[in-house]
Amino acid sequence: MPSPCLFCEIIAGRLPGQIVYQDDLVTAFCDRFPRAPVHILIVPNRHIDSVSMLCAEDEMVIGRLILTARQLAVKTKIDQTGYRLVINTGPDAGQSVHHLHLHLLGGKSMPLMGG
Which of the residues are catalytic?
101
Residue 65 contacts residue 45 (beta carbons within 8 Å)? no
> Which residues share a beta bridge with 104?
40, 85
Q: Is 42 helix (H, G, I), strand (E, B) or coil?
A: strand
The gap between the terminal CA atoms of the chain, to the nearest Å, is: 43
